[in-house]
Amino acid sequence: MAIECIQKRCYLAQARVFMGHVKPGFVVLVTLTFLASIIAYVYDFSLMPVTHPLTWFNIANQTKLYNVVPEGLSGKKNVWNFLIKQQTIQTTTTMEKPSASVSTEHISIHQYVAHPSNYHFILDEPDKCSQWDPFLVLMVPVAPHQVEARNAIRSTWGNESSVQGKAVLTLFLVGLTGGPEAQQQLEEESRQHRDLVQSNFVDSYFNLTIKTMVIMDWLATRCPQANFSMKVDSDIYLNMENLITLLLAPNTPRQNYITGYLMWDQPVIRNKNSKWYVAEELYPEPKYPTYVLGMGYVFSNDLPPKIVEASEAIKPFNIEDAYVGACLKWLGINPSGAPDPSQFRTYMNDPKSQDLSKLITAIAGSPEKVVEFWLNVKGHK
């Protein structure tokens, strides 16, 4: 028994000596192996292609990389001036907020892609409002190639620079032309008419929200002295006399006011085959807040800077008028019904049977119809 105990103590002593010599080397070996595995895994992962569902923005822009302008159109840096690390525009892409502090803020690209600080003007008329001092500014979003539409407006309601003693300014806003020849023609048109504003976003249907937000920023930074502004589509007949009468009415508010053709309880379209499709990721609510139809809405000129501010908090989606409605809801501002809602019309089945002289807006549908509607009213005076 004594011999067995001696043998056991001997074995235990030998084991302790073995472990004392082997354990440090073994730990080092395991650690090195583990680190090598991590490096190999990270290297492998970095070579894997990143595949995410496309967003409405990069479908519209048909581009894989997106360069953010470091300063906003107003020349002020703000929380949406992020740096991009050569990542594709995808749903899960995140950006970092430049900051002097150690902490960084991550945010989805959806959160700021429509904010106007990401774009700058190529063509501009920054002194127009200081020279003109307009009561009303009409901003017309139009495609660069739609010269006929611009000329139709220039020869009709866009040529009415003074109505009931109030100065009216009409400007056209366009995006990128898509080629040097088209750009040269646009610049020549700008020199001739001095009524074009161009920003560096891709001009497409899906980018109308960006286009609208750039309009809002131009009004906020270039024309704060105006009393009212109006976003009006290029295929719209506009009766300037009736519009000015509405704005001069004593019961028309001068602040937090927007009116036009109101849209209530509109469902969000989830059908992917529809041009009005909006993914739940971009707008999760089943219905839009009350908004004003984008064909033509008029608003007090204190709203543009507020809407630009709201766009910092509201995810952009590709239904521009509903997006403005979402910004207004965030601001706690409700669109106002017009005193006579019938003055804001959509399509007219038989324009000749209607009294156009009583309207404010109606969808004409083409440059020729814009001229026809305008002549129809002028001829009856």
Q: Tell me what the mean pLDDT of segment 243-258 comes to.
A: 98
pLDDT-wise least confident of 97-106, 185-194, 351-360: 97-106
229-241 pLDDT, tens digit per residue, is 999 999 999 999 9
Burial 28-51 (b: 16+ CB within 10 A, else e): eeeeeeeeeeeeeeeeeeeeeeee
pLDDT for the residue 328: 98
102 against 313, higher pLDDT? 313
Residue 77 has pLDDT above 70, yes or no: no
336-352 pLDDT, tens digit per residue, is 999 999 999 998 867 67
Q: Tokens for 273?
A: 């085959």
pLDDT-wise least confident of 28-42, 162-176, 248-262, 346-360: 28-42
pLDDT for the residue 105: 34
Report the candidate in 221, 183, 219 with the shortest Cα–Cα distance to residue 200: 183
- pTM for the complete prediction? 0.73
Q: Tell me what the mean pLDDT of segment 184-198 comes to.
A: 98
- Report the distance separating Cα 379 and Cα 352, nearest Å: 13
- Report the distance separating Cα 226 and Cα 167, nearest Å: 10
Residue 6 has pLDDT above 70, yes or no: no
254-279 pLDDT, tens digit per residue, is 999 999 999 999 999 999 999 999 99
7 against 144, higher pLDDT? 144
- Report the distance separating Cα 56 and Cα 42, nearest Å: 31
Kindly state the DSSP code that residue 50 receives in the 8-state scheme: P
Strand partners, 300: 228
Q: Tell me what the mean pLDDT of segment 108-119 comes to.
A: 66
Strand partners, 180: none
In this prediction, residue 211 has a pLDDT band, given cuts at 50, 70 and 90, of: very high
Asked if residues 275 and 205 have their Cβ atoms less than 8 Å apart, the reply is yes
13 against 145, higher pLDDT? 145
pLDDT for the residue 118: 87
Following CA atoms 39, 41, 44, 49 in sequence, which dihedral angle do they give, to the nearest 10 degrees? -120
pLDDT for the residue 24: 54
Residue 282 has pLDDT above 90, yes or no: yes
pLDDT for the residue 87: 28
- Report the distance separating Cα 340 and Cα 360, nearest Å: 10
- Report the distance separating Cα 369 and Cα 156, nearest Å: 11
- Report the distance separating Cα 360 and Cα 374, nearest Å: 11
pLDDT for the residue 36: 59
Above pLDDT 70, what percent of the chain? 69
